[in-house]
Amino acid sequence: MSLLAFRLGDLVCAAPLAGVREVVRLGAIRPLPGATLPLVGLTEVRGQTVRVLDPRGTTTTGPGPAAGDGDLVVLSDGSGVACDEVLGVREDEEATPAAGLPPYATGLLVDGTLLVDLAALGSVA
C-alpha cells in the first residue's frame, strides 16, 4: 500500500496516498467562528476555498504550524489537512490495531508510525 508520510509535531503519521490530491505549502488560514476541532478555518489553493483540518486539535501533539511554516495535504474531497512537514511516500503493509489511538487512526505500522484515515478525520469536522 502506498502511503504519504507526514509529521504532526513529534508524531510521524502516514495515510493512504489514494485519498490525496496534492501537497502545497500551508497558506494563511481564515478562522471560522464557531468551528469545532479539527476544523480550524479556510484557506485558498489555486483560487479554490479549502477547509483546513488540524488533527493536533484532537491529540496532544501541540499547536499546528503557522502559515508558510507547514504543509497542507489536500484530499480528494477538497478539504486539507495541516501538518508540520510531508516526509514523502512509502510502501508498507497493513497496520496493527492498537488501543488508545485517536478516532481517525486505524493502527500502527511496524516502525511505530500512526496510520490515519484522513477521510475519517474530515468526517469529524
pLDDT of residue 35 exceeding 70: yes
What's residue 34's pLDDT?
86
Interval 59-79: pLDDT, tens: 444 455 555 579 999 998 889
Distance from C-alpha of 84 to C-alpha of 35, rounded to nearest angstrom: 21
Domains of the chain listed by start with CATH number: 2-124 (2.40.50.180)
Block residue for cell numbers 511496524: 110
The residue count for the chain:
125
What percent of the chain is predicted at pLDDT more than 70?
A: 87
Helix (H) or strand (E) holding 44: strand 39-45
Q: How far, in Å, CA of 102 to CA of 31, rounded?
A: 24
Select, from the ranges 2-16, 63-77, 94-108, the one with the highest average predicted confidence (pLDDT).
2-16
Nearest 10 degrees: Cα torsion 99, 102, 103, 108: -60
